[in-house]
Structures are given as structure tokens and as C-alpha cells.
Amino acid sequence: MTVKLSISVPDDVAEYLQSQGNASAAVTEAVRRVLPEARRLRQREAAQAYGRFLRERTPEQADADRILIESSNDIALRGTEW
């Protein structure tokens, strides 16, 4: 599926796109090169936020989470045979 967009670009970009045989293909290729980096940036920011969250937790909060996880595991594994 494709979507038709109307965008404004600086003069030098417009000149380059007009010189291309297929401006849509040139824009698509350029944007696809940027997408992985944008995704990595979002992942890096999320990991940093999670790290800040973990560092700010009190020992009591960490213990409560450990107990919850262990209890959940016990419930999930009840009756299973290895």
C-alpha cells in the first residue's frame, strides 16, 4: 500500500529530488536508512529510563518485587513435572 503525501523541502533537497528519475523512491530509500537509527535511539532511551527507575528503588521495593516474582513462578509451575 502507498500513501500520497505533499511535503515542503529546502531548495537544495528539492533540486536533488527533481534530478532523480523517481523522487518517491529516493525519499523512501533515505527515510529507510534513518529508521533503524531512530529505533535504536528509542530503545536506548527506554533502557536508560528503566535503569534510572531501578536505581531509585528502595531495598524494600526490590524485596517486594522479588517475593512477587517468586510467588508468581511458584503458582505458574504448580503441578508441572520436569
pLDDT tens, residue by residue, 19-43: 999 999 999 999 998 899 889 999 9
Indicate whether 12 belongs to any domain.
no
Q: How far apart are CA 57 and CA 55, in angstroms?
A: 6
Indicate whether 7 belongs to any domain.
no
What's 49-71 look like in SS3? HHHHHHHCCCHHHHHHHHHHHHH
Share the mean pLDDT of the chain. Answer: 91
Instruction: Specify the pTM.
Output: 0.47
- Cβ atoms of 26 and 20 closer than 8 Å: yes
Name the DSSP class of 22. Answer: -
Domain count, the chain: 1
Range of the domain at 44: 21-77
Mean pLDDT of 62-66: 94
pLDDT at 80 over 70: no
Indicate whether 58 belongs to any domain.
yes
Indicate whether 6 belongs to any domain.
no
Asked whether the CA dihedral 68, 69, 70, 74 is positive or negative, the reply is: positive
Indicate whether 64 belongs to any domain.
yes
Indicate whether 46 belongs to any domain.
yes
pLDDT at 82 over 70: no
- pLDDT-derived band of residue 77, with 50, 70 and 90 as boundaries? confident
